[in-house]
Amino acid sequence: METWWTRFRGTTVFDRTQRRLTLQYSGLVVLFLTLFIAIVLGLLYNILILNPKGQLHDLADDEMAYMKDLLMRNGSKNSMMHQKQDEYFTLGQNQYFYYWVDSQGSLQYGDEMQSGSRTQILSSLSEWRPSRGAQEIRYATVQLPSMHGGMHMGKGEAKEEQTVTLMMTGRTLYSGQDVTGTLYIGKDISVQWNLFRWSLIALMTLGLLFFALALILSHIMSKRAMIPIMQSYTRQREFVADASHELRTPLSVMLSSIDTLQLEDGMAQNPFAARVLANMRNEVKRMTKLAGDLLTLARSDSGEVLLANEPLDLRANAEHILQSLQALADAKQIQLTLQAPPSLMMYGDADRLEQLLVILIDNAIKYTPDGGDVRVMISVERAKSMHILQFIVEDNGIGIRAEDHKQIFTRFYREDKSRSKELGGHGLGLAIAKWIVDAHRGTIHVESKVNQGSRFVVRIPMREGSWS
């Protein structure tokens, strides 16, 4: 069943390229948008949060200087305790509270904008004594009854509460090494804090909206950018398909003619002519296979995958494939074995499944040294509501480097070009194998180590009713 991720990821090279272009365009837009949001938030933080910090520190320093002056003029702190509080301190315009706490932690002087907040503020200050010479900032929230419309509330009605956000700082006064007292002051930054918080939410919301808009616009732009590429590629694909199709007929005629010449009576007495015809026959067969592979890939690029659904015995088909490749294995003294249930009756595309097996087994034989082993294992597993058809083709050949495991399924990719040329490969077989597996919505992967052999594993989900 096709999922949204499958549709987004795409099934063709154009879909995947368009997706990458969409993500790249969107990434650039999001990068600039993120920088813009970061700059705006930085400016807002500087104006709404850092500026009040500086003002609060200046206020605390002024108050502390005034306190030192009072102590010098009065001679001792005890003489100040007998004076009226408002002779020394009053709340400033931007000040929410001030408290003077002695060395024992007892409140000596203090005032706040709202009387009900003292207990909560002192509770938040109880474990804090500012370090000497440090300019520390603390934050606290105070819950107070709302000052709007709270006079005539009915019985049982919940009182509305007002949350006040405070920015606080403190200064400790020393006499030598002894603590004389600590001055705490704070200001209400509820408006600034709420403004910064709502600005953050608004900018993030706008960022998400612009990100969605960027995705849509990027998708449209990438789709338009792909149009001329797709048109050019389509013409090339049609040319390759037509050329491959047109080549198959003369190649078939040439192969038949060579077969006819090899049956001539005098050919046995002319070894040179027999060798030339044999070489010509091999080259024609190689060209015929190449034309067939190119035609298959051209059809795969069209995006139209039509799989047959016909009854077949996969065990019998696999045995037939091994028999057809036995001569190739015997030439290298390779042991070719099949492990499969006695009968695998099912419905599927026999041609494609046989082509998949031929590619994997042929590759295993080619890249296995003389006297090696190639094993083919076919099994069926039950997974939830479907059956999983599994092919495993393993050998003890030259192996594949770890960095090439993903690349080997790319068209025309050859790990060792000189060896592939010697063995007659074009780098198309595994690309076709992957296309067949993808068309069946399956998976294919390789497990391999250099000089220890390779193991190709194919898993294909089969629909209900595929098994007879």
- Model confidence at 154, pLDDT cuts 50, 70, 90, reads very low
From 438, 461, 404, select the one nearest 301 (Cα to Cα): 438
Residue 147 above 60 pLDDT?
no
CATH architecture of the domain formed by 232-301: Orthogonal Bundle (1.10)
Residue 169 pairs with which residues in a beta bridge? 185
Phi, psi (rounded to 5 degrees) for 176: 70, -120
In terms of DSSP H, where are the helices of 151-303?
A: 190-262, 271-301
Is residue 100 within 8 A of residue 183, CB to CB? The reply is yes
Q: Is 66 helix (H, G, I), strand (E, B) or coil?
A: helix
CATH of 310-462, one of 3.40.1080.10, 3.30.565.10, 2.40.37.10, 1.10.1060.10: 3.30.565.10
DSSP line for 42-96: HHHHIIIIIHHHHHHHHHHHHHHHHHHHHHHHHSSHHHHTTS-GGGT----TT--
Any idea where the domains of the chain sit in the sequence? 232-301, 310-462
Q: How far apart are the first and last CA of the chain?
A: 22
Q: What pLDDT is stored for residue 374 in this prediction?
A: 93
Is residue 89 within 8 A of residue 69, CB to CB? The reply is no
Q: Do domains 232-301 and 310-462 have the same CATH topology?
A: no
- Mean pLDDT score of the chain, rounded to an integer? 79
Tens of pLDDT, residue by residue over 203-246, are: 999 888 988 888 888 888 888 877 887 777 677 666 666 666 66
Is residue 410 within 8 A of residue 446, CB to CB? The reply is no
Residue type for position 320: H
Residue 168 above 60 pLDDT?
yes
**Across 6-20, 186-200, 209-223, 343-357, least confident range:** 6-20
Residue 464 above 60 pLDDT?
no
Tens of pLDDT, residue by residue over 350-390, are: 888 988 998 899 889 988 999 999 999 999 888 777 788 99
Contacts of 149 (CB under 8 A, 6+ apart): 160
Q: Rounded distance, CA 117 to CA 277, Å?
A: 106
Is residue 337 within 8 A of residue 380, CB to CB? The reply is no
